[in-house]
Amino acid sequence: MTLENSLTAYADKYLTPDNEWYLWRNINPRYLPTGIVLPMGNQYAQNVSLKHQLSNLYSNGNDDAKISATKYYIAVWGGVRRNGMNKIKNYSLASPDSLIVNGVQGIASWSKALCIRDPNNYAIYDARVALSLNAIQVISRAQSPILYPLLKGQNKLINKGSKHMHEYACKNEWPKTDQTDFYQRYNAILSATANTLNVSHYSMEMLLFSHAPNLLRIAFSNEHF
């Protein structure tokens, strides 16, 4: 079973029409960029609306507006506050190709920047998503598993799970993804599964993000996670 097949089967089970499967911290309206108003609804609806409104601000704004929208999504919404302004400006204004070539370096930040530029083609890649991509291959007993880069995040459970996942992959001699093209491969898999299920590209990423703890516990049910 390929990763694409495994992800399709998992998403088909959990992507329910009410979208109550997406649970994350609430968006604080006090810190929203000027002009953005969130709709009533669950966290999925509000986060999708936020993506599209930020994308609209980015597409129609000048450089300052692009930087402001990007900084909000990385630092405020995403909670990644270690980037200096030079990095934020680069993530805001550099071409997608020049960011993607960085590989794993800074990906939890620059993938957020690309996500608000075009949420239908670029997805966030962070510690939770990385763990989910690997865990789902364990669950499905993938025939040719491949290790996607695991990242250190801000959650103790995810970090503990990522360490265990890395040890498991090394023990079972999983080959590693190519550092120069794994992000494109990741987006291609999301697009393929989204097309199969007739859902959005970002819904697939949001499922991986939200369900990381669940996937970890299913993959390693004998461990104490």
What is the C-alpha to C-alpha distance for residues 132 and 126, in angstroms, rounded to an integer?
10
Residue 20 is predicted with a pLDDT of: 94
pLDDT one-digit tens code per residue, 4-49: 999 999 999 999 999 999 988 899 999 999 999 999 999 999 999 9
Residue 213 is predicted with a pLDDT of: 96
Residue 46 is predicted with a pLDDT of: 96
Residue 217 is predicted with a pLDDT of: 96
Residue 224 is predicted with a pLDDT of: 79
Both tokens of 98, joined, read: 């020049």
Q: Which long-range contacts (CB under 8 A, 24 or more apart) does 202-206 make?
A: 202/48, 202/51, 202/115, 202/119, 202/120, 202/123, 203/11, 203/15, 204/7, 204/11, 204/123, 205/123, 205/124, 205/129, 206/22, 206/44, 206/47
Residue 48 is predicted with a pLDDT of: 97
Q: What is the mean pLDDT of residues 86-96?
A: 97
Q: What is the mean pLDDT of residues 133-147?
A: 94
* pLDDT surpasses 80 at 225: no
Q: How many other CB atoms are found less than 10 A from the CB of residue 212?
A: 25
Q: Residue 150's closest CA among 194, 84, 212, 81?
A: 212
Beta carbons within 8 Å of 192's beta carbon, 6+ residues apart: 4
pLDDT one-digit tens code per residue, 17-28: 999 999 888 999
pLDDT one-digit tens code per residue, 158-210: 999 999 999 999 999 999 998 889 999 999 999 999 999 999 999 999 999 99
Residue 25 is predicted with a pLDDT of: 84
Residue 179 is predicted with a pLDDT of: 83
pLDDT one-digit tens code per residue, 54-84: 999 999 999 999 999 999 999 999 988 889 9
- For the chain, the DSSP string reads --HHHHHHHHHHHH--TT-TT---PPP-GGGSPTT--PPSS-HHHHHHHHHHHHHHHHHHS-HHHHHHHHHIIIIIIS------HHHHHHHHHS-HHHHHTTTTTTHHHHHHHHHHH-TTT-----HHHHHHHHHHHHHTT-SS--BPPP---S-HHHHHHHHHHHHHHHHTTPPBPPTTTHHHHHHHHHHHHHHHHT--HHHHHHHHHHTHHHHHHHHTTTS--
pTM for the model stands at 0.95
- Spell out the domain ranges in the chain: 3-18+125-219, 29-117
